Every structure is written in C-alpha cells, then in structure tokens.
Amino acid sequence: MDVDAYSYAHRRAWFRLDQLARKRKLTGAEADELVVLYRRTSQQLARLQTHSPDPQLVAGLSAILTRARVRVAGTRSDTWVQIGRFFTHTFPAAVYRAWPWWVGVAATFLTVAAGLGTWIEGSGRAKEFFGLPDDHEALTAPGGAFETYYTEHPNDAFAAQVWTNNSWVAAIALFTGVLILPAVYLLFMNALNVGVSAGLMADAGRLDAFFGFILPHGTLELTAVFVAGGAGLQLGWTLIDPGRLGRLEAVARQGRATAAIAMGLVLVLFVSGLLEGFVTPSGLPAPVRVAIGFLAEALFLAYVFVLGRRAAGTSSGASGSDPIDARAVVPGFTRAAIEADAGITGANAARWGLSGAAVPGSGVGEMNEQTTVSTPGSR
C-alpha cells in the first residue's frame, strides 16, 4: 500500500471532516456530511492501521476522529468524554513517551541517595561535611522525630499538607526543567534529603524502621517526582535539540505534553498523600504497610506501561482541541500543493501550520519543605 498516494487521495475529505468537527453550529446538510465523512474516515483509519507503519499519520487521523465522534455522539457528554480520554489516553501516553527520561532520573536519584546514605553511616567526616550532629538520637530513636513526623498531625490534615507540598515540588521540577540546572538542583536536594535520613537511621541501627515508614508512600511519591523531573528535563532538552521540528514548535508540543503530565500527577500525588496520611502512620504491621505501597506502585506502573503504551500508539498525546498539522496527515507534500488542492489560504493556512516554508511533514502538530518531598529530614 502506497501510504503517500493514499493520503493524497483522501486528504481533502480529512480536512473537511476536521473543519466540520470544529464548527460550532452545523446545518442539516453539514450534519449529514459529518456523519458520512466520519464513517468513511473510520474505515480508512482501520485500513491504515493494518497497512501503514507510520504512527504519526495514524495519530493525526485518530485525533480528527476523536473530535468528530464527540460531535456525532452529541455535545452534552463532551466534558466527561474529554476527562475520560485524558486519563485513559493523554496522560498515560505522555508519561509512557517520557519513560527513558524519568527512569534515568530514578536510577540517578537512587544511586546518589544510596551513595550518600552509605557514606554518612558511621562516618564522622561525612556528618561534619554536612553539618550533622554526632548525637542524632532525637531524630532516629524509637518515638523520635523521624517517626513522630507522621503522627503529630491529624491524618486528614497531614495528608492534605503533604499533597500540597509534593505537588509544589513536582510542579517546580516540571516547569524549571526548561532551564535544566534548577531541576537538577531540586532533584539533587531531594536525593540528599533521602540519603541523609537513610544514613542517620542506618547509623542508629534502625534501617528497618526507615524503610517501614518510607516505602508505604515513598514508592509512589518518589515515582511521581521522578516523572516530573524527567518530563521537565525532556522539555529543557527539547529547547536545545528540537529534532526535525522548528524550535518553537517542538517546545510548544513538548510543553503541552508536560502540562498534561503535570495535571495527571496531581491525582497521583493525591493518592500518595492519602497513603502517607493514613497508611504510613497506621497501626498495621510494617510488612502490610509496605505491601500496600508496593501495590499502589505496581498499579501505576501497569497503568503507564500497559495502558500508556497502547494509548501512545493510537493517540497524538496532545489535547483534543489542538489543531492537527496538515503536513502530518499528508506526508511528503509541499505547502503550495496542500493549499492549492485543499483550498487552505490566509488564516486557515496559519491554523493548519502552513504559514512557514514548505517542509515535508513528519509529525503531528508541526533543602526546605517548599522544594523537597515530605520526609522527616526535610523539616
């Protein structure tokens, strides 16, 4: 199957379908035309998914069909449809696409934290270097500050406090990532915070208590921070290396994905806040608390690597209202050819991303509590 020829033959109908799907009010004839084009394009998409190796072409048509389906099904469910699509497609797909970045952040973070903890354990020189007192029983003893941190406030108030704090940390990591160094500094300070706490607890012979209080909520909480940091650094790197797209276009696209991740992480951090507020300080045995935390982590990873991977193959990862670049749906054709054959001129050409030079299309859209995750060492 010649994908370029197939796209060339049907691109005017795809443009027309997108135009009707975006139109506020439709006449009777236009509504009928919308339904016909929707059905026809759905069949064409199914054929492309079978024969085409180009995921960007499939993603472009999928986004157009998503908007058209909302119009065909009716607008009353539009809000709920978009919310549902965000959590079943946009968010998990964006996190999945960024996984090399946040897995790299996680590996580096944990290596640094483990190295610092190992150095601090039993090393007077390390404690002196970080300004830590030799006598740290007030922090590490049973019933000390490390443990009472999780129990000194009412559960619901504590959960709300850590949710707010950790959401702020994630937001900083995400949106300072465009400058790279501030995000790296933030992640290092969090690794330092975790490493110092682990080193002091290990030095006191209470590493089991450390993990018993950290793991129930920390697995999911830190994963959210890793995702935020990785996505933020990816945004910053896009500014340095935009790839085949123009710099502004590439940053704008990655910025939309970063914003989607930010919104989704609010819910993830809400769940980790509930775990930290109600499970970590509970009277449940430590193995049970840890198992609950691991279960939450496993569910999130399955959500990303199963649902997210599937969604990444069928969704553009952008919001349903973003215009689809005509060059993504019609690969290999110049600006002049598209405008002349599809009747796209003036403002419409700008809307389709065709106001620049002719380029063959290749893609859709052409250590304080304010900066560290909530652990006793951050107080």
Q: Which residues contact 342 (CB under 8 A, 6 or more apart)?
A: 11, 12, 15, 326
151 in any annotated domain: yes
> Can you tell me the distance from the alpha carbon of 365 to that of 54, in angstroms, rounded to the nearest whole number?
15
356, part of any domain: no
Amino acid 315: pLDDT? 53
Phi-psi region of 368 (alpha: psi -120 to 50; beta: other; left: phi over 0): beta
| C-alpha span between 64 and 5 (Å, rounded) | 20
Residue with tokens 């030799």: 134
**Residue closest to 332 by CA, chosen among 99, 5, 73:** 5
Is there a contact between 230 and 101 (Cβ–Cβ < 8 Å)?
Answer: yes
For the chain, the first-to-last Cα distance in angstroms comes to: 63
- Token digits for 117? 């903890």
User: Are residues 243 and 340 both part of a single domain?
Assistant: no
- Look at residue 304 in the predicted model and tell me its pLDDT: 97
Do 55 and 133 fall into the same domain? Answer: no
Asked if 52 and 111 sit in the same domain, the reply is: no
> Do 300 and 337 fall into the same domain?
no
Whether 310 and 167 map to the same domain: the answer is yes
Report how far apart, in Å, the C-alpha atoms of 102 and of each of 88, 180, 234, 288, 342 are. Answer: 20, 14, 9, 28, 41
Residues 107-132, mean pLDDT to the nearest whole number: 90
Q: Is 300 helix (H, G, I), strand (E, B) or coil?
A: helix
> For residue 43, with 0-12 CB atoms within 10 Å meaning exposed, 13-18 middle and 19 or more buried, which class applies?
exposed
Mean pLDDT, the chain, as a whole number? 80
Please indicate, yes or no, whether residues 34 and 141 belong to a single structural domain of this protein: no
User: pLDDT tens-digit profile of 17-67?
Assistant: 988 888 878 887 888 888 899 889 888 888 877 775 567 777 788 888 888
Q: Distance (Å, rounded) from C-alpha 330 to C-alpha 278?
A: 53
Distance CA 345, CA 354 (A): 9
52 and 152 together in one domain = no
Cα torsion angle, 37, 43, 45, 47, sign:
negative
pTM reported for the whole predicted model:
0.66
Question: Which own/partner contact pairs does 20-26 have at CB distance under 8 Å and 24+ positions apart?
Answer: 20/68, 20/71, 21/64, 21/67, 21/68, 21/70, 21/71, 22/67, 26/71
Report if residue 88 sits inside a domain: no
The verdict on 253 and 178 lying in the same domain is: yes
Give the model confidence (pLDDT) of 126-153 as tens digits: 888 888 887 788 888 888 888 889 988 8
Q: Are residues 72 and 214 in the same domain?
A: no
Q: Which residues constitute the domain of residue 230?
A: 93-314+368-378
| pLDDT over threshold 90, residue 368 | no
Neighbours of 358 (CB within 10 A): 13
d(CA 269, CA 163) in angstroms, rounded, equals 6
Residues ≥6 apart with Cβ < 8 Å to 155? 277, 278, 281
135 and 68 co-located in one domain: no
Examine the domain organization and report whether 111 and 62 are in the same domain. Answer: no
Q: Does 84 fall in a domain?
A: no
Q: Residues 311-360: pLDDT tens digits?
A: 988 754 333 334 334 333 434 333 343 344 444 444 444 433 333 333 33
Q: To the nearest 10°, report the CA torsion of 243, 245, 250, 252.
A: 180
In a domain, 54, yes or no: yes
SS3 154: coil
How many Cα atoms are found within 13 Å in the side-chain-facing hemisphere of 291?
5
| Residue 108 within a domain | yes
74 pLDDT tier (thresholds 50, 70, 90): low
Q: How many domains does the chain have?
A: 2
> Does residue 211 lie in a domain region?
yes
Residue 85 falls inside a structural domain? no
212 lies in the same domain as 240? yes
pLDDT in the model for residue 269: 95
